[in-house]
A and B are shown apart, each in its own frame.
Chain A
Amino acid sequence: MSRKLLIRGGRVICPASGHDAVADVLIEGGRIAGVGQGLAAAGAEVLSAAGLIVAPGFIDIHVHLREPGFEHAETIETGSRAAAAGGFTTVCCMPNTSPVNDSATVTSYIAEKARRVAAVDVFPIGAITKGSQGEELAAIHSMVSAGAVAISDDGRPVMNSRIVRRAMETAKALDVPLIQHCEDLNLSAGGDMHECVDSVRLGIGGIPAAAEDVMVARDIVLAELTGARYHVAHISTKNSVAMVAFAKRQGLPVTAEAAPHHIALHTGNMRPYDSNFKMKPPIRGCHDVEAVVGGITSGAVDCLATDHAPHPGDDKMQEFERCPFGIIGFETALGISLEVLVHSGKLSLNRLIALYTSEPARVIGWKGELERGSLKPGTVGNVTVFHPDFPWTYDVSKSASKSSNTPFNGRTFHGGPVVTVVRGEIVWRMPGY
């Protein structure tokens, strides 16, 4: 396609190239053609971005699209539409589908389906072990050949240290990161929320912070042993952040992501027995939240990722202990991040954009023509246009997701996505824009 799209007059912020100025962005044939003034835009569709921020397309490296197997909760198509409505242009989907994505067959299925129906770019993450049961390695070479960009058993941890070691050795050889959902299942057994005074008072089983910490500690040791790129999924505790910071100081290739809900909510914000506040890792205490935010500002935490985890209404409308873990997150991610990190004065807008663009791109490490996370000419034409502070209220009934399990329904945010561009096509516009 030699279609042209000119995004005109926005404040173009590209952390990867250090650009922060009002400029135009030209996309041609699905790739960034240029950023600046007076670009050769004859015959281009024009999108006005006056008063808005124009950034590289946001990347979410931790999402659950539920297809194949759980299409009643979400599909690749609906999940991708929700992603686009959140300003995301690239997502990496976790393998806890049914069947689990532990083979080239399922990896290819997801990649192929996404190519046909997804509104955004979708990259599968392959499982570490067969069926994510933690017992035998999955067909990692085959999955990576079929397009998997990382390996993880997310949803579950890999408990067996020997298997984690071998998986890391394999990941290192294939130059993909190993992403761990850090949770010692023996410490967390029976737990449904963060272990604290509230869990004891409410009679809900507790998941101690230690359940995450012991595994982060073990994995960092194995990362040092193997030299693999190791990434902590949804980091949530004070100690985890401290250990990742330590690992970085040692020069180890250890990275971490945080989910917006883990910086927006602490146990004091939870409505008792409301499953919209139930996820893993659980919403933690305020000291943990402070530490995660501190990790983001210090750089110990590399990027943000939503862990978008849809569950159908019936599943989340049960006794708290029976509800599955997880909340959706695409459409509230930017609003939450702006509020907690930028409007509070803790982080610059530029750095926030990096947390959604150049940083997740660095964690995954897309190369060559798959490269993304910047507006460098020649790179994929994915752009996120957003307003940095206009007020809007989240109404989950209008969500593009099939599911509505969120604690943020009705919450007012300041700043949010306005237009999402994927490969030069506008895939989502804020209603009325």
Chain B
Amino acid sequence: LVAMHPSAIVMRHAASGAPHFLARHLPPPIINAGDGTHEHPTQALLDARTILDRIGRLEELRVAIIGDIAHSRVARSNIHLLAKFGNEIVLCGPPPLLPPAMAAVAPGVKLEFDINRAVAGAHVIMMLRVQLERIKEPVMPAGEYFQFYGLHADHLSLADPDAIVMHPGPINRGREISTEVADSQRSMILNQVENGVSVRMAVLERVLLG
């Protein structure tokens, strides 16, 4: 790797801390494109960009993040970013996927096992990808998951009238989000993808040009 003299390394890795480990041993800057279940910083940045575009602010928000929180690097990075602006962050998911310690990860974080209470009054609803077959945790049958933790159209009436729905993608239709919601006006999913390009260009520019 070092022999190729890279100006920077962009690293996406299945193990949490892999970029940190590498950075201790290699000279070039390492951009974390997602490490295990730890963080996905550029995702949080593009999510913030998306919220700013549509809602116009990054503070005084009630944000609900729903899904497999325990294994989500997207959740963690968003929690860290949104907490810096003093927002109210509600994490929601089935108990085996929502460890109590998550409430101590940043200020302003609350835990909720009932999706209706989680989305009530929310300005932003972030749905996380759920892959029950992949995780080795005993949780609940997949069909039951959609019933109790999937986002349906009627949940939106509990949220803020201007609430937006976000998802880091790729989405599992009928698993964590209904097709109706995914394709609705409230859904910012495609905007997120588009913002991802410019945000990552900015990160690269910052790292390479200082």
User: Interface residues, chain A, CB within 8 Å of chain B?
Assistant: 189-190, 195-197, 199-204, 206, 272-273, 318-322
- Pick the contact of A203 from B16, B21, B136 — CB < 8 Å? B16
Q: Whose C-beta in chain A lies nearest to the C-beta of B38?
A: A203
- CA gap between A105 and B36 in the complex, in Å: 44
- CB of B18 within 8 A of chain A? yes
- CA gap between A254 and B104 in the complex, in Å: 37
Question: What are 16 contact pairs spanning A and B, CB under 8 A?
Answer: A200-B70, A201-B105, A202-B16, A202-B17, A202-B38, A203-B17, A203-B38, A203-B39, A203-B76, A204-B16, A204-B17, A204-B38, A319-B17, A319-B21, A321-B15, A322-B15
Contact A273 B21 (CB under 8 A): yes
- CB of B140 within 8 A of chain A? no
- CA gap between A195 and B100 in the complex, in Å: 11
Q: A55 to nearest B CB, angstroms?
A: 40
- CB of B73 within 8 A of chain A? yes
- Pick the contact of A201 from B15, B35, B76 — CB < 8 Å? B76
Contact A272 B20 (CB under 8 A): yes
- Pick the contact of B136 from A190, A200, A319 — CB < 8 Å? A190
- CA gap between A282 and B70 in the complex, in Å: 20
Enumerate chain B residues within 8 angstroms of A272, measured Cβ to Cβ.
Answer: 17, 20
Contact A200 B99 (CB under 8 A): yes
Q: Nearest 6 pairs between A and B by C-beta?
A: A273-B17, A203-B38, A319-B15, A203-B16, A203-B37, A200-B101
- CA gap between A170 and B165 in the complex, in Å: 63
Enumerate chain A residues within 8 angstroms of B36, measured Cβ to Cβ.
Answer: 203, 321
- CB of B13 within 8 A of chain A? yes
Enumerate chain B residues within 8 angstroms of A318, measured Cβ to Cβ.
Answer: 21
- CB of B102 within 8 A of chain A? yes
- CA gap between A12 and B11 in the complex, in Å: 59
Enumerate chain B residues within 8 angstroms of A204, measured Cβ to Cβ.
Answer: 16-17, 38
Interface size on B, residues (CB 8 A): 21
Q: Whose C-beta in chain B lies nearest to the C-beta of A189?
A: B136
Contact B105 A321 (CB under 8 A): no
- CA gap between A202 and B76 in the complex, in Å: 9
Enumerate chain A residues within 8 angstroms of B104, measured Cβ to Cβ.
Answer: 197, 200
Q: B25 to nearest A CB, angstroms?
A: 8
Contact B17 A320 (CB under 8 A): yes
Enumerate chain B residues within 8 angstroms of A199, measured Cβ to Cβ.
Answer: 101
Contact A203 B20 (CB under 8 A): no
Enumerate chain B residues within 8 angstroms of A321, measured Cβ to Cβ.
Answer: 15-17, 36
**Given A203-B37, A272-B20, A318-B21, 5 further pairs, Cβ under 8 A:** A200-B105, A202-B17, A202-B38, A320-B15, A321-B36
- CA gap between A202 and B99 in the complex, in Å: 13
Q: Whose C-beta in chain A lies nearest to the C-beta of B72?
A: A203
Most B-side CB within 10 Å, residue of A190, A202, A272, A319: A319
Contact A203 B99 (CB under 8 A): no
Contact B101 A319 (CB under 8 A): no
Enumerate chain B residues within 8 angstroms of A195, measured Cβ to Cβ.
Answer: 101
Enumerate chain A residues within 8 angstroms of B15, measured Cβ to Cβ.
Answer: 319-322
Q: For window 63-87 of chain B, which residues contact chain A by CB distance below 8 Å?
A: 70, 73, 76
- CA gap between A399 and B17 in the complex, in Å: 29
- CA gap between A298 and B60 in the complex, in Å: 52
Q: B129 to nearest A CB, angstroms?
A: 16
Enumerate chain A residues within 8 angstroms of B38, measured Cβ to Cβ.
Answer: 202-204
Q: A267 to nearest B CB, angstroms?
A: 12
Q: Whose C-beta in chain A lies nearest to the C-beta of B71?
A: A203
Enumerate chain A residues within 8 angstroms of B35, measured Cβ to Cβ.
Answer: 203
Q: A323 to nearest B CB, angstroms?
A: 10
Q: Whose C-beta in chain A lies nearest to the C-beta of B18?
A: A319
- CA gap between A322 and B17 in the complex, in Å: 11
- CA gap between A199 and B17 in the complex, in Å: 11
**Are A203 and B73 CB-contacts (below 8 A) given A273-B21, A319-B13, A320-B15?**
yes
Contact B73 A197 (CB under 8 A): no
Q: A187 to nearest B CB, angstroms?
A: 12
- CA gap between A189 and B135 in the complex, in Å: 12
Most B-side CB within 10 Å, residue of A197, A203, A322: A203
